[in-house]
Every structure is written in structure tokens, then in C-alpha cells.
Amino acid sequence: MTRRDFINSTSASYASLLAWGMLQPAPATTLNLPANGRREDGKGRKVLVLGAGLAGMATAYELGKLGYDCTVLEARSRSGGRVWTIRGGTKETEIGESNGQTSSFEEGLYFNGGAARIPHHHQLTLHYCRELGVPLQMFNGNNEAGYLYNDGGTGDLANRRLRIKEYHNDMRGYTAELLAKALDQPGLDQQLTKEDIEKLVDFLKNEGDLNTAHLYKGTNRRGYKTKDHPGAGHKPGNMTDPFGLTDLLRSGFMQPVFYNVGDYIYEQQTTLLQPVGGMDAIPKALEKKLTGKIIFNATVSELRKTENGVRVVYQKDGKPVEVTGEFCVCTLPLPMLKNLESDLSGTVKRAADFVPYIKTGKIGLQFKRRFWEEDDWIYGGISRTNMDINQIWYPSYGFQGKKGVLIGYYNFYSRAEAVGAMSIAEREKMALAQGVKIHPQYPTEFENSFSLAWHRVPYSGGGWATYDDATRKKYYPSLIEADGNIYFAGEHTTYLTAWMAGAFTSAHRTVEAIHARVGEYTKK
């Protein structure tokens, strides 16, 4: 019996066939359009899309395929929104800042100021990269060679750098040892058989690299002494010595800022990817598909419901311009809605007022030598500290090149607020003064920097929407419904906040909703 015969001969439902693994599910990347709908239902219908970030552009791209006539209004002179790559010549003037910055990074050097990594399970993002021909490369997120630095602590391991592999493997070793010892205690026999316990001990021996007596006495997983790696002849290599458990516990590494959960968090598990040449390859590719449809330097100032649709006013060259459409897809970050004259519903307005956006910032530091590679053997990945710089990201491109740009801080909440409030020059000074504690090479190798605080970058209002259970319950529902003929899209309208996949999936949802609606009209 063939698979097809089997399927034809049973009365099994589609769902059970799926569950039995008999059918490939429709890929999550295809639009879910009504089966009885017609593609041409959208033909010629005018849609005004607010914002040329990923959500807005993907919406216009997909609606365009269905024949809709989309116009995208974008306040900035570029597309991409919070997907923004900083390279030589990039300019920005933050709110409240007078001079502005122009990056003087050398040709070929850059950092992703916003979105910077793509988890392997964000299939919709990867689908667009595939469809738009954006080549990808690996993004190294977890690097055991990165450093931890606890500043201001009192223990022996504070105020010095140590490798993540040293901390990580010691803690695994000691906790495995303690668990193995606990398994010798009476009382476990109720849940576990003798064989179960043997297997668990085997697991712990491997997990913690315990010796035959089930003790942790160090491991080569934490590395070798600098000049004593295995080599030819009489060079078996000499492992580094483990730190003491109490030293580790008392030196401050249990603070949340150091949690070494990067490799456990679903979104940060290997494999992560990034576009070759900068994240803006994605918005640039989308922009190409929308030639003539995006109006740049068009700041939306008014959004109104009309009898048959919507009316939008935007400011262009200091003058108001009015446009109308049947539908509007508003992808503006919520804080931007506050500046709009609108007749949006009260619940939407309250969402704009009360859904918090995270404060977050980054600085790119150009160095004349990739000392982190040459001296420290760090190729991509992240170092962590409780200082205001919080994280140092090493570039996952251009390995072994001459110069390099690393991300000298990536911080959040109060750290980002404090740093964002500094002048551009002070931020640079701070990043160097704190970073030198981890990398003494900083002062001799530094060349120039470019920093940004997302909560101060015009038209962004912050890094991303941050819901808790209460705000999710109170405000979110109004954003996933149409308000008249106005639809909302963007990461803030999803459970994938802070990710490009959120922007894309919101675009799909909106396109599906609009197309289902016009399908209903044309049926009548």
C-alpha cells in the first residue's frame, strides 16, 4: 500500500494524519489565505502602511503580491527601523543631542546597532532571507573563551577576568560532584532503582568530568595553561587548575547579570545566523521589492478613520500632505503613536501610553588590531560583566583581518539609561575605561567609536516592547484587532517581541486578516 493509497483509504482527519507524521505540515512561512478566497480580491485596493521597518515592508511586499496598491510612509531617510547596520558614513543625531555623529569606521567594518542575531528556529526570518537572496553566515553567540568580570566584588575571583569556560566547567564539576554524593544518601531508593542511580551517576561523571571517585578535580575543558598546550614531542599539555567552589560562590558570579544561560535560552541556542555584510541586507532586499512605493522623510502626524477607510497626514519638507486609503497598517512603535493626532480607540491609545519599551544601547569600537583574536583567541561570542558596559560582543565576521569593530557595550534598563544620558564623548570614555579592565589592549589599539541609545534614537522610542502578564492582558488585545480599518503590526503585536521574526509574523497575520476581510466583501 502506498502512502497515498493509505491516506485515500482512511477516514483519518488531516489533523491526525499530521500527528502521525504522515503529512508535512504546511510550512509556517506560507500565508494562510482563505481557501475559498480569490487572489485577485485585493486588486487595486489602496493600503497605507506606516513605517518601512521589517513589519511594514513585509506587509507591503505580501499585499503587493496579492494585487493591493500599497504606499509605505517612512519618517527616516532609510528603511529598516530598528534593523540598522552602522558602517563608515552612517549618521545619526539622537533626541536631545546637538552635534550628531558620523561613523568613521574603515571600509568593510560595521556593527549591527539593532537586530544582530537570528535563531535557527526563526524560520520566517530565514524564509525571507532565502526568498530575497540574503546570504547568511554563522553568528557565534556562546563562546566559552569569552570573559567574565565581576567588578567591585570582594572574593578572590572578583575584579579580575576569568574565562567563561573556567567558571562554567568548574560549576558543572562541583554541582555534579555534589549530586553524585547526594545519590549515595539513603532515601532515594523510593524513586530510583539501583540501575537508575548508576545511570545518573554516569551522566554526572560526564556532565561534570568527575574522576573515578566521582570527585571534581579540574578538567581540560576549562583549558590549558597559556604556554603549556599539548604539542609535539614531550608536550602532553598542562591543564589550568580549578577555582575553589566557595571562591566562585563568594565572588559575585551568582548575580543575574552573569548567569551563563546563553546556551540554554531557546533564542540563543546554537545555531544563530546573521546576514553577510550586515543585518541591513534584509531591509535593503525588501526595499528593492518595493521600488517607488516607499516615501521617505515622511513623518506621519495624523491618522483618521473615514467612512470608507482611512486618512493620513504626513509632513514632508515642512508641509503637510494628505493621503487616503481603504486600509492602514500601522507599524509605528507604540511610543510613536503618542505623537499622532488620531481617532484611534481609547484602548489603543492607552496601550501606546502604558506598554513599556526597553532602554537599551550599544557602542561600536574600532581597533587597529584584532587583539581579542590574536592575543585572547576569541572569535565571536560575548564577555559579560556587572559594569555598565554589561556585554562585549566580538565580531562574527572578518576573522583574522587587520582591524576590527567590536561592540563595547550592550546594556539594558538602568545601565542603558545611565549610559544613554551621557554625551557621545562620555559614552566612549566610559566604554574604554570599563573595557580596559577586561582587555588591557584597549588604550593602545583604539581608533574610533559610534554609539546609540535606542530610547533616544528618533522614531524608535526604545529597543522593543516589554510586556508582563498584566500589560499583556490589559493592552495587548487591542493591538491584535483592527481598529476600524486600521491594523497594527510590528514586534509589539506578537509573542516574539524583540525579534525580527516578530515583525515578520505580524506582517503575515495582518495580510491574512485584511485579505480575509476583503474576501468577505467580494463574496456578497
Contacts to ligand PHE by CB under 6 A: 117, 267, 498-499
How many CA atoms lie less than 13 Å away from 369 in the CB half-sphere?
Answer: 10
| Rounded Cα gap, residues 77 and 317, in angstroms | 12
Name the minimum Å distance from CB 498 to ligand PHE.
4
What DSSP element (H or E) covers 473? helix 469-474
| Identity of the residue, 267 or 512, whose beta carbon is nearer to ligand PHE in the bound complex | 267
| Rounded Cα gap, residues 348 and 479, in angstroms | 6
| Identity of the residue, 117 or 508, whose beta carbon is nearer to ligand PHE in the bound complex | 117
Task: Give 422's DSSP letter.
Answer: S
Name the minimum Å distance from CB 255 to ligand PHE.
17
DSSP per residue, 283-350: HHHHHHTTTTTEE-S-EEEEEEE-SSSEEEEEEETTEEEEEEESEEEE---HHHHTTSEE---HHHHH
Q: How far is CA 208 from CA 68, 183, 219, 241, in A?
A: 59, 15, 9, 15
| Identity of the residue, 314 or 394, whose beta carbon is nearer to ligand PHE in the bound complex | 394
| Identity of the residue, 173 or 462, whose beta carbon is nearer to ligand PHE in the bound complex | 462
Name 449's bridge partners: 365
Helical H segments across 192-288, by residue range: 194-208, 245-250, 281-288
CB atoms within 10 A of CB 99: 9
Query: Residue of minimal CB distance from ligand PHE?
Result: 498
Backbone phi and psi for residue 488, each to the nearest 5 degrees, phi listed first: -115, 140
Name the minimum Å distance from CB 331 to ligand PHE.
17
| Identity of the residue, 413 or 521, whose beta carbon is nearer to ligand PHE in the bound complex | 413
Name the minimum Å distance from CB 304 to ligand PHE.
34
| Identity of the residue, 405 or 407, whose beta carbon is nearer to ligand PHE in the bound complex | 407
Q: Is 148 helix (H, G, I), strand (E, B) or coil?
A: strand
| Rounded Cα gap, residues 508 and 326, in angstroms | 19
| Rounded Cα gap, residues 286 and 159, in angstroms | 47
Name the minimum Å distance from CB 359 to ligand PHE.
13
Q: What is the largest CA-CA distance in the chain?
A: 86
Name the minimum Å distance from CB 167 to ligand PHE.
20
Name the minimum Å distance from CB 74 to ligand PHE.
22
Query: Using CA of residue 426, residue 431, residue 437, residue 439, what is the dihedral sign?
Result: negative
Task: Give 271's DSSP letter.
Answer: P
Name the minimum Å distance from CB 499 to ligand PHE.
5
| Identity of the residue, 264 or 399, whose beta carbon is nearer to ligand PHE in the bound complex | 264
Whether the CB-CB separation of 338 and 298 falls below 8 Å is answered with no
| Identity of the residue, 156 or 267, whose beta carbon is nearer to ligand PHE in the bound complex | 267
Name the minimum Å distance from CB 412 to ligand PHE.
8
Q: Is the backbone peptide bond immediately before 175 cis, with ω within 30 degrees of 0?
A: no
Across the chain, how many H-helices and E-strands are there? 17, 23
Name the minimum Å distance from CB 117 to ligand PHE.
5
| Identity of the residue, 158 or 405, whose beta carbon is nearer to ligand PHE in the bound complex | 405
| Identity of the residue, 75 or 407, whose beta carbon is nearer to ligand PHE in the bound complex | 407
